[in-house]
Amino acid sequence: MNIFEKKNRILLRELIKTDFKLRYQGSAIGYLWSILKPIMLFIVMYLVFVKFLKFGSAVPHFAVALLLGITVWNFFAESTMVGMQAIVNRGDLLRKINFSKVIIVLSVVANAFINLLISTVVVIIFSLINGVHMSWNVIFVLPLLFELLLFTIGIVLLLSTAYVYFRDLSPVWEVAMQAGMYATPIIYPITEVALRGGYLGQIIADLMMLNPMAQIIQDLRYILTFSNNTNPTVWQMIHHPFYLVVPYILPFFIFAFGSWVFNRNANKFAEVI
């Protein structure tokens, strides 16, 4: 079914509006939590890892890089954790209305993306306060956000399909996300891995950069903080052309594969749930 049909567009819009309104319903400060949550998490990690453990002490504007990494990772974590259960949680809707099931997944990711955009404004303001000077190449944030969206939607399509059949996936993915956060250079510079591990550390650092999330975060940091020597991007670390394009191609492959798996099973969702 074409998701661009009028009724699907209307349903998508209404799901986004409803989910966004219900997100902080009943809380005292409401939508302000979209800004406060990443800031509070940033403060904790900044005090523990930067001030106490001295991670990133040699990296210019590492506090900005840390906040940016947390913001991007929170979007991915929120999209995948909520999106994984979205089809099952909307089981009553699936049995009542005939519509493109991917709308449910897109509404979850869209809500998380709204939070990401709000948090990104906070990151930019924090960057300017910390003396970061931005130039015209900030426009390259847009294709990186598109890559992030593509990768996230692909993962959520796979997870939401699998969760219909395997409800034990939720705690497993929660552990995987925790491990993934520490395996991605968010709270520490990727150069720390290379320097402390010698030759083996350099290999491990290169392999870590094949992860699209690491590549996206490092590219965004390069654009917004210019700490390219101490917080390098994938093209500065990996010089083999084949391996260099891997993290940029993977999101497209995962999106295509996730769409294929989701569409093959979409008609069975109402029956299984």
Q: How many residues make up the chain in this entry?
A: 273
pLDDT of residue 259: 95
- Per-residue model confidence as pLDDT tens digits over 118-174: 888 888 888 888 777 777 778 889 999 999 999 999 999 999 999 999 999 999 999
- Own/partner pairs for 167-175, CB < 8 Å, 24+ apart? 167/88, 169/84, 170/81, 170/84, 170/85, 173/80, 173/81, 173/84, 174/81
Q: Are the CB atoms for 273 and 164 separated by under 8 Å?
A: yes
Mean pLDDT of 186-213: 85
pLDDT of residue 211: 95
Residue 266 CB neighbours (<10 A):
18
pLDDT of residue 255: 97
The whole-angstrom separation of Cα 82 and Cα 86 is: 6
**Is residue 23 over pLDDT 80?**
no
Average pLDDT, the chain: 85
- Per-residue model confidence as pLDDT tens digits over 30-82: 667 777 777 787 788 778 777 776 776 667 778 888 889 999 999 999 999 99
Residue 106, burial from CB neighbour count under 10 angstroms (0-12, 13-18, 19+) = buried
